[in-house]
Amino acid sequence: MWVAVILVVVSSCLIYYFATKKSKSVWKKNGVHQVSGGGFMDQFLVFIGKKTMMDIDDVKYNMLEKSGEKYCGFVDLVGNCLLVKDLEILKKILIKDFDYFVDRRPFFSGTREPLMQKMLFSLLGDEWKGVRTSLTPTFTTGKIRRMMSSFNQVGHTWVKHFNKKIDESSSSSAKINIQKETIHYTVDVIASSVFGMNAGTIDDPKSVFARMTLRLQELSMWKLVKFGISMNFPWLTDFLRLEIVDNQAMVFFRDLMVQGLSSRMSGESKRNDFIQLIAEARRGELKDDDELNDFEKDAQIKGGPGTKKNYLNDDILAQAQLIGFFFAGFSTTSNVIAWAAYVLAVHQDVQEKLRKELDEKLFKDTKNDDIDYDQLNEHVYLDMFLSEVLRKYPPLGRLERMCAKDYHDPETGLKISKGSVVVIPVQGIHNDTRYYEHPDKFYPEHFTPEKKSERNSYTYLPFGHGPRNCIGMRFALVEVKSAIAHLVKNFKVEPTEKTPIPMKERPVGLGVQIPDNLELKISRRNK
C-alpha cells in the first residue's frame, strides 16, 4: 500500500507541476481566465474525506458569481478543466453540441476487471452510443411497470420488518439506523429486479447476497485511493496490479449473471427483471414503447456510427450492463431514500402533508396495500418533495464531459481544446439564489408546477441532461417513491435525541453521504 501511495504522491506532484505550466498557455491561447484549485492538495483532501469535489467547485462558482464571468479554466491531476456556470452554454455542451462532448472522463480505464471497463458509464465514443441505444428500451415506462410487483413485494417485507422491530421494543416505537435499513431495502429491490431472485436481506442482513453486495460496494480509505489512482493514473494501476473491486464478490455476481442469461436465452425461465430484458434485447425482441417528454427527447442519440449494431450480443458487454445496473442502483438510491427519511423526521409538517396526499389518492382503497405504478406518478406533492430532496442532496454534485475534438462556439467565443474536461457544478447551480428562493432550506414549494414551468430546466440536474443522462432515472424514481410511500403510509418518522439537527453530511468524493450511524425513530401511525 505504501509503495502505491508514495508513487501516487510523487507522480501527482510532477504531473500537476507540468500540467499547470502547460494549462496556463492553453487557456491563455483560448482566451479563458484560469484560476487555482483542483490540484494535488485539493485532491488529497478529497481522498482523506475532508473535502468533496463540490467544495472545490463551489469556490470557483462563487468566484464567477462575483466577477460576472460565465466560465473559468483550471487544472487538476489529469489536465485542463473548464468549469461552466452559464446555463445556455451548458445546454450546448449537454445537447446541441453533444457530438463534441460525448464522453465522460474514464472511470475504470486502469482496472484489470473487464466488466468494470465495459459498464455503460465507463464506455466511450461509438461503443457507448451503441450500448446506450441497445439499452434504452429496457427503461421505458412499460418495462418498469412490469417490475412493480417486485417493488411491492420488497415494500411489504420492509413494513413487516419495521413492525417486528416495534413489537420487540420496550415502547411503542423503535429506533433504527436509517442508512442500514435503506441499504437492505435497495439490495432486495435490485436482487429482484436485476437478478430475478429473493435476496432476503431485509430479514437476514448477513445473507450471502448481502455480504457480497457490501464487499462490492465497500468504500474504505484504501479503496478510494485505488479508485483515484485508476482515474488519474491508469498506467500505475496496471503496473501495481491494483484490484479496485473485490474479486470474490465480482466472481459471485458474474456467475449469477451468466447462469441467469443462459437460462433466459434458452427459454427455460422467464421473469420481469433486467436479465429478461437483456435476453430479449439480444434476440432483437425489445421495442421502445413510450411517448417521450422533453427531458427524454433531449436524451435521444441522433444516429451516428455504430448505433445500428446490437452490442448486447457481446457476452462481456451484456454482463457488464447488469453489474452496472447493480452498481448504479444500489448506494446512490439507498442514500436518497435515507435523506428523504431524515427530512420527513425533522419536518413533521411536510410528512403530514405528504401522508394526507397519499391517503387521499394512492391508498384510498384501504384494503389494497399494493402500489399502482400509474397512480404513484400522479402525486403532485410527492413529486415536489422528492425533487427537493434531490436538489439538496443530489446523487452526484458535479458532472463531467470530455471534449472529443477542438470546440469553438461562435456565439460566445468560447474555445475548448480536445481532451479538456468540462465540469458542470450541479451543487452550485442547485444552491443558486437566482434559481431557488430558499436554497439553504428544505422547501418543496421550489417545485410547484408553476415554479417548474417558469424555471430553466438546466437549473435542476440530479440525473444529468441530454443523451448522457442517467439511463435508469425512471427506475430510480419509482424505487424511491415506493419506499417513501410504504414508509409514510404505515409509520410516523421522528428524530431521536441522537439525530443531528442540522445534519452534518459525510463527504465522499462526488457527493455527500448520510452518516453511517444516523438514528431515527419510527412508530405506527394513528389512522
Q: Where exactly are the structural domains of the chain? A: 2-524
Cell numbers at residue 394, please?
443530489
DSSP state for residue 109 in the 8-state scheme:
T
Does residue 112 contact residue 243 with C-beta atoms inside 8 Å? yes
Closest CA to 481 of 358, 331, 397, 305: 358
As a whole number of angstroms, the distance between CA 72 and CA 82 comes to: 6
- Residue 507: cis peptide before it, omega within 30 degrees of 0: no
Helices (H), 140-273: 141-146, 148-168, 178-195, 208-217, 221-232, 234-240, 247-266
Query: What local confidence, expressed as pLDDT, does residue 81 receive?
Result: 92
Q: For residue 408, how many C-alpha atoms fall within 13 Å in the half-sphere facing its CB? A: 5
Domain 2-524 classification at class level? mainly alpha
CA distances in angstroms from 239 to 2, 5, 112, listed in the order given? 15, 13, 11
Extract the residue ranges of the chain whose pLDDT is less than 50: none
CB neighbour list of residue 241: distance below 8 Å, 6 or more residues apart: 112
The pLDDT assigned to 367 comes to 66
Residue whose grid cell is 474525506: 49
CA separation, residue 175 to residues 150, 171, 474, 495 (Å) = 27, 10, 31, 9
Which residues line the annotated binding site for heme? 470
What are φ and ψ of residue 343, in 5° steps?
-60, -40
First and final CA of the chain: distance in angstroms? 57
Cα 357 from chain centre: 28
pLDDT at position 86: 97
Tell me the binding residues. Answer: 470
Nine-digit cell string for 311: 452490442
Which residues have a Cβ under 8 Å from the Cβ of 151 and sit 6 or more positions away?
A: 189, 193, 371, 478, 479, 482
| pTM of the predicted model as reported, rounded to 2 decimal places | 0.90
Quote the pLDDT of residue 363.
Answer: 84
Only one residue has cell 418533495, namely 385
CA distances from 230 to 210, 233, 497 (A): 26, 5, 42
